[in-house]
A and B are shown apart, each in its own frame.
Chain A
Amino acid sequence: MNLFRSEEHIERWLGDRQPGATIPVTVLSELAHGWWSDRLPPEWQPHTRDQNQAVLDRLGLTAEFWRLP
């Protein structure tokens, strides 16, 4: 899970490997907020699979690649 300068850099880094998924850093920042912002309060409870999937879905990350087990 890395940051890159551009698509060209991603393609070169991947080489012969199968690509994963690429999203803009702006979406990543929103994703991180939705995923991690409740991590430290004492009342924290583990997210369910559906709660986590909803975080992804809200950002339009609905492709099969983003389906949690």
Chain B
Amino acid sequence: MDVRDLRLRELTYGLFIGLGRAPTADEVASAAASTRADVRCGWRRLHDAHALVLNAAATEIRMANPFSAVPTVYRVYAGERWWYANCAWDAFGVCAALHVDGRIETSCPDCGEPLAVDVCDQRPSDHSLLFHCLVPAAHWWDDIVFT
């Protein structure tokens, strides 16, 4: 990953945090004094390097891990704002990435009952919950959205 792509990634993440949502290619191009096409080319290289994930059309951000650009069942209140995370792991990752305490709200995939966990100093308030990872690590990036 070259310096140009690292800077594009940094700018993209910075805008995501500042806006509280994924920036569009146009917004990043404007901030970088670049073009939409150049941003999308750079995003594609970052996607291929697993540094972010594009949508199916490869035109906009789908994941700036651990943040999700689209609504999910993992909502996280952290840094005085609500975020969407891609999965349970990423939900805790939002607090870790922002270096703040937070609250995770989701529901049990089996029974649908609400689950809420406060995270304080990296520790979950409810120790009884379990995390299940269905896909082996060797295959996480085969289909990262499914994983």
Contact = CB atoms under 8 A, between A and B. Distances in A.
B51 A36 contact: no
Contacts of B122: 29-30, 33
Contact of B123 (A2, A29, A39, A67): A29
Given A3-B131, A24-B130, A33-B122, A56 B137 contact: yes
B121 to A, nearest CB: 10
Contacts of A40: 13, 17, 97-98
Contact of B92 (A20, A22, A28): A28
Interface stretch (B29-37, B53-61, B111-119): B111-119
Contacts of B51: 46
Contact of A1 (B89, B98, B127): B89
A60 to B, nearest CB: 14
Interface residues on B, range: 35 or more
> For A31, A35, A36, which residue has the most chain B Cβ atoms within 10 angstroms?
A36
Interface in A7-45: 7, 9-10, 12-14, 17, 19-33, 35-37, 39-40, 42, 44-45
A36 B66 contact: yes
Contact of A2 (B9, B127, B132): B132
Interface string B40-59: 00000000011100000000
A67 B128 CA distance: 26
B129 interface: yes
A28 B49 contact: no
Given A4-B109, A69-B138, A32 B130 contact: no
6 contacts: A1-B132, A1-B147, A5-B113, A24-B129, A35-B89, A46-B51
